[in-house]
Structure 1
Amino acid sequence: MADRLVVKVTCGTDDLERCNQAFTVAAAGVAAGVPVSLWLTGEAAWFAVPGRAEQVTLPHATPLADLLAILLEGGHVTVCTQCAVRREIAESDVLPGLRVAGAATFVEEVLADGTQALVY
Structure 2
Amino acid sequence: MTRELVVKVTCGVDAPERANQGFTVAATAAASGVPVSLWLTGEAAWLAVPGRAAELSLPLATPLADLLASVLELGTVTVCGQCAARREIGEADVLPGVRIAGAPVFVEEALRDGAQALVY
Q: TM-score higher than 0.5 here? A: yes
State the number of aligned residues.
Answer: 120
Gaps of 5+ in 1: none
Instruction: Give RMSD over aligned pairs.
Output: 1.1
- Kept after mapping to 2: 8 A contact 1:4/1:116: yes
- Kept after mapping to 2: 8 A contact 1:7/1:26: yes
Q: Residue 13 of structure 1: SS of its match in structure 2?
A: coil
Counterpart of 1:57, as a letter, is: S
Runs of 4+ displaced beyond 6 Å = none
CA deviation digits over 1:80-109, x for unaligned, max 9?
000000011111111000000000000000
2:97 and 2:90 map into 1 onto residues whose CA distance is 14
- Kept after mapping to 2: 8 A contact 1:2/1:116: no
Q: Which residue of 2 aligns with 1:13?
A: 13
1:119 and 1:79 map into 2 onto residues whose CA distance is 14
Give the % identical residues: 73
TM-score by length of 1: 0.97
Gaps of 5+ in 2: none
